[in-house]
Structure 1
Amino acid sequence: MAVEPLSQKEIEERLAELPGWSVDDGRLTRSYRLGSHFGATALVVHIAQVQEELNHHSDLTLGYDTVVLSVHTHSAGGSLTGKDFELAQKVEALAPAHGAH
């Protein structure tokens, strides 16, 4: 089943529901700061688990106490789709349990 790109209006509406997230170079992006390297690593592992469940994967960058997530949908020509926002919502829901802000 093909995934359809979102319109600019749809992107803006969905972004309004995700404080801290932005669109950078056509990718949905968010940075998190955590209390330690171990905490950041645990968040990356948890995000990877969610991505496997959704079969939708982002680029993750692990720093000492930071995690940066960046995603778009390759099968939609690198556009933003509902799948990207679904992943972002799930990450937002799990991040506080890791102490991410």
Structure 2
Amino acid sequence: MTKTADLLTKKCRHQETALDDAQIQVHLAALPDWHVAQGLLERQFSFRNYYETLAFVNAAAYIAHAEDHHPELTVGYNRCMVRFNTHSVNGGRGGLSENDFICAAKVGALFAQAHS
């Protein structure tokens, strides 16, 4: 069983094979606020104002840069949708890899720390 703490200690590495459905479900259990939609691991984060939203976006971008694994970010006044997938797996067809879950755990921890 994968735990959030396990994901937080890992670093992203090159992935060639996507996770299968069973592996995705195991990883999702460690990230209860995240879900898979149309092949993307996603979560919407809510904030009080635009300043908080942009601060989160910048911090999430720092995490993405450090891990060399970049999400799709959709930013509004008081919300940000974060979506991960790994374009390089499955021969370039894409899918979910452990990297997506590592980054999701780190972005989720960032949000939790700022809102505790």
1:37 has 2:50 as partner: yes
- Once residues 15 and 43 of structure 2 are traced to their aligned partners in structure 1, the CA distance between those partners, rounded to angstroms, is 26
| Number of residue equivalences | 100
In structure 2, distance between residues paired with 1:62 and 1:97: 20
Find the partner of 2:100 among 81, 84, 89.
Answer: 84
Which stretch shifts more, 24-33 or 1-10?
A: 1-10
Ranges in structure 2 where 5+ consecutive residues have no aligned partner: 1-13
Q: Does the residue aligned with 1:75 lie in a helix, a strand or coil?
A: coil
- Structure 1 stretch displaced more, 91-100 or 44-53: 91-100
Q: CA deviation at 1:19?
A: 1.4
The residue that corresponds to 1:93 in the other structure is: 109
1:28-58 superposed Cα distances (whole Å, 9 cap, x missing partner)? 0000101111001100000000000000001
Contact 1:34 / 1:98 at 8 angstroms: preserved in 2? no
Q: TM-score, normalised by structure 1?
A: 0.92
- Contact kept, 8 Å, 1:60 with 1:69, in 2: the verdict is yes
Residues 1-101 of structure 1 mapped to structure 2, 5 A cutoff: 1-76=14-89, 77-99=93-115
Counterpart residue type for residue 65 of structure 1? N
CA apart distance, 1:2: 4.0
Asked if the contact 1:51/1:57 (under 8 Å) is kept, the reply is yes
- Structure 1: state its 5+ residue gaps: none
> Which residue identity lines up with residue 19 of structure 1 in the other structure?
P
Runs ≥4 in structure 1, deviation > 6 angstroms? none
CA drift at 1:18: 0.6
Give the TM-score taking structure 2 as reference length. Answer: 0.81
Q: Higher mean Cα deviation, 33-42 or 91-100?
A: 91-100
Name the amino acid aligned to 1:10: Q
